[in-house]
Amino acid sequence: MSQISLVAKITFKDCIRTKGLYGIFLLGIILFAANIIFTGMFSFEIGKMAVDMGLSVISFSGLIFIFFFSIQSFFNDFEKKTIYMIISRPISKAEYIIGKFSGLGLVIVFSSLVLGLCAAISFKLSVMDHEAYIPQHFTWSFFFIAILFLTLSLLIMLGISVLWTCATSHQFIGFLLSLMTYFIGHNMETVKNMILSTKIFPPDALPIKTINFVSWILPNLAVFDLKTQAAYGLMPDFVSLVWIALYGLSYIGLCLIISIWIFNRRELA
Amino acid sequence: MAIIHFSEISKSFPHGFKRQLALKNLSIEVNQGEVFGFLGPNGAGKSTSIKLLLNFIKPDSGNIFIKGLQVGKDNFQNLIGYLPETPCFYENLTALEILSFCGRASKLDKKTIRDRSFDVLKKLNLETAAKWQIKTFSKGMKQRLGIAAALLHDPDIYIFDEPMSGLDPIGRHLITDVILELKDNKKTVFFSTHILSDVERLCDRIGVLDKGHLLFSGEINQILNQGSTLEDAFVQLIKINQGKNNVAN
Amino acid sequence: MKQKSFISTSVFFVIFMGCFITSNLIIKGNRKNMGASFILQIPAIPASAIKLITGEFNGLMSDFLLLQISSFLGSNQKISNQEWGEINLGYQQIMTLDPYFQQAFIQIQGIMAWNRDMTPAAIDLLKIPEKNRPWDWIPGYYIGFDYYYFLQDFEKASQVFLKTAAIKKAPLLIALLGSRFAVQGQRIETSLLSLKYMVDDPELSEDSKNEIQDRIILLKGILILERAVVKYKTLYSTLPGTLNDLIKGNIITSLPEHPEFMPYQYNSQTGEIKY
Residue A73 has pLDDT above 80, yes or no: yes
Residue A34 has pLDDT above 80, yes or no: no
Residue segments in chain B with a per-residue pLDDT below the cut of 70: 225-227, 245, 248-249
Q: Is C170 helix (H, G, I), strand (E, B) or coil?
A: coil
Phi, psi of C78 (to 5 degrees): -70, 135
pLDDT at A43: 53
Distance CA C93, CA B18 (A): 57
Distance CA A85, CA A176 (A): 28
Taking CB atoms and an 8 Å cutoff, what residues of chain C touch A229?
A: 39
Distance CA C44, CA C30 (A): 27
Residue A252 has pLDDT above 70, yes or no: yes
Work out the pLDDT band at C184, boundaries 50, 70, 90.
Answer: very low
Please tell me which residue, A126 or A252, carries the higher pLDDT value. A252
Runs of H (alpha helix) within chain C:
2-33, 50-54, 58-74, 81-97, 102-107, 119-132, 138-149, 154-165, 172-181, 187-198, 206-236, 244-248
Phi, psi of C152 (to 5 degrees): 55, 25
CB B77 within 8 A of CB B21: no
Distance CA B194, CA B172 (A): 14
Is the whole-model pTM more than 0.95?
no
Chains with 3+ CB–CB pairs under 8 A to C are: A, B
Average pLDDT of span C28-47: 71
Average pLDDT of span A207-235: 84
pLDDT at A132: 62
pLDDT at A118: 86
Please tell me which residue, C163 or B151, carries the higher pLDDT value. B151
Give the distance from residue A78's alpha carbon to the nearest chain B alpha carbon, in angstroms: 11
Chains with 3+ CB–CB pairs under 8 A to A are: B, C
Work out the pLDDT band at C185, boundaries 50, 70, 90.
Answer: very low
Domain ranges of chain B: 34-44+78-248
Question: Does A218 contact C at CB distance below 8 Å?
Answer: no
Work out the pLDDT band at C217, boundaries 50, 70, 90.
Answer: confident
Domain ranges of chain C: 218-275
Taking CB atoms and an 8 Å cutoff, what residues of chain C touch A228?
A: 39, 41
Average pLDDT of span A250-269: 92
Work out the pLDDT band at C99, boundaries 50, 70, 90.
Answer: confident
* Lowest-confidence region among A36-45, A236-245, A249-258, C209-218: A36-45
| A:164-203 residues touching chain C, CB 8 A cutoff | 189-191, 193-194, 196-198
pLDDT at B179: 93
Domain ranges of chain A: 2-265
Residue C14 has pLDDT above 90, yes or no: yes
Work out the pLDDT band at C46, boundaries 50, 70, 90.
Answer: confident
pLDDT at C138: 93
Please tell me which residue, A261 or C38, carries the higher pLDDT value. A261
pLDDT at B166: 77
Question: Does A20 contact C at CB distance below 8 Å?
Answer: no
Residue A49 has pLDDT above 80, yes or no: no
User: How many alpha carbons fall within 13 Å on the CB side of residue B62?
Assistant: 24
Q: List the one residue out of A16, A32, A30, A25 whose CA is nearest residue A64.
A: A25
Mean pLDDT of chain A: 85
pLDDT at A200: 65
Start-to-end Cα distance in chain B: 39
CATH topology of domain B34-44+78-248: Rossmann fold (3.40.50)
Nearest CA in chain C to A48: C44
pLDDT at C103: 83
Question: Does A207 contact C at CB distance below 8 Å?
Answer: no
Which residues make beta-bridge pairs with B217?
B207
Amino acid letter, residue A97? I
Q: List the one residue out of B161, B158, B177 whose CA is nearest residue B169.
A: B177
CB C96 within 8 A of CB C53: no
Distances (CA, A) of A11 to A77, B230, C19: 11, 46, 29
Give the distance from residue C137's alpha carbon to the nearest chain A alpha carbon, in angstroms: 27
Quote the ipTM score.
0.88
Residues 6+ positions from A46 with CB-CB distance below 8 Å: A39, A126, A127, A130, A133
Question: Does B58 contact C at CB distance below 8 Å?
Answer: no
The pLDDT > 70 percentage for chain B reads 97
Phi/psi zone of residue C250: left (φ > 0), alpha (ψ -120 to 50 degrees), beta?
A: left
Distance CA B70, CA B3 (A): 11
pLDDT digits (tens, 9 = 90+) for C118-138: 899 999 999 999 998 888 899
Which residues make beta-bridge pairs with B7?
B63
Amino acid letter, residue A6? L
Residues 6+ positions from B101 with CB-CB distance below 8 Å: A6, A9, A10, B93
CB B131 within 8 A of CB B175: no
Cβ contact (<8 Å) for B101 and A84? no
Q: Among C16, C46, C71, whose Cβ lies nearest the Cβ of A257?
A: C16
CB C186 within 8 A of CB C180: yes
Cβ contact (<8 Å) for A52 and C43? yes
Taking CB atoms and an 8 Å cutoff, what residues of chain C touch B74?
A: 1
